[in-house]
């Protein structure tokens, strides 16, 4: 069995290998496989049954096991949730390693793996990856079935 601390760099190296063999398209094929085989069976039923609250339960559990420095805001009535990743443990670890560079699109795996599942159940995701090289990202999830014309979340979140 491989430990978490060994898995993170191995994952990054695998992405690099797949990219060299067949380009980024091969990396995305692998991510889609992971999504279908491992993520959809656990995330899908939660989102199908509980909508945005199911998202919160899934990501909250995952981030807790990873010991992520993360802040959530959730408005179940309006079907909106945010994830403010202050310090991603995986990307943070990769950035600290001196013997290797992280795969250039390492953080892209989260987008591909989760987005396709969420979209099946009417959850739209917007990402800000402008600080991934500091192990930070920001995500907004909206249940399109509950979406109001202007929910004000973007402006409210910018205030801090």
| Per-residue pLDDT tens over the stretch 81-134 | 999 999 999 999 999 999 999 999 999 999 999 999 999 999 999 999 999 999
DSSP conformational letter for 37: I
The set of residues, in sequence order, having a beta carbon less than 8 Å from that of 142 and lying 6+ positions away, is 52, 79, 80, 123, 124, 125, 126, 151, 153
Residue 150: is its pLDDT beyond 70?
A: no
Please list the residues that pair with 138 across neighbouring strands.
84, 128
Q: Which of 100, 84, 98, 99 shows the shortest CA–CA distance to 135?
A: 84
Question: If residue 87 lies in a helix (H) or strand (E), which one and from where to where?
Answer: strand 80-87
Residue 29 in this model has a pLDDT that exceeds 80: yes
Per CATH, is 4-158 categorized as 3.30.1380?
A: yes
Structure token digits, residue 76: 């179940």
Helix, strand, coil percent values for the chain (each to nearest 5) = 55, 20, 25
Kindly tell me if the per-residue pLDDT of 5 is higher than 70. no
Return the bridge partners of 15, or none.
none
Q: Write out the H or E segment, with its range, that includes residue 93.
A: helix 89-96
Q: What is the pTM of this model?
A: 0.85
Written as six digits, the tokens of 116 are 């396709």
């Amino acid at each position: 069995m491989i430990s978490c601390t060994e898995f993170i760099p191995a994952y990054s190296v695998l992405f690099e290998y797949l990219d060299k063999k067949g380009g980024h398209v091969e990396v995305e094929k692998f991510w889609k496989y992971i999504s279908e085989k491992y993520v959809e069976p656990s995330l899908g039923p939660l989102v199908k049954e509980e909508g945005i609250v199911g998202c919160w339960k899934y990501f909250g559990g995952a981030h807790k096991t990873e010991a992520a420095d993360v802040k959530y805001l959730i408005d179940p009535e309006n079907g909106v949730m945010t994830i403010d990743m202050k310090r991603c443990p995986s990307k943070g670890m990769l950035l600290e390693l001196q013997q290797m560079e992280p795969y250039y699109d390492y953080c892209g795996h989260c987008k591909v793996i989760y987005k396709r599942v969420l979209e099946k159940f009417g959850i739209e995701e917007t990402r800000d990856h402008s600080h991934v090289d500091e192990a930070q990202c920001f995500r907004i999830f909206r249940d399109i079935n509950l979406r109001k014309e202007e929910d004000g979340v973007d402006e409210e979140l910018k205030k801090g």
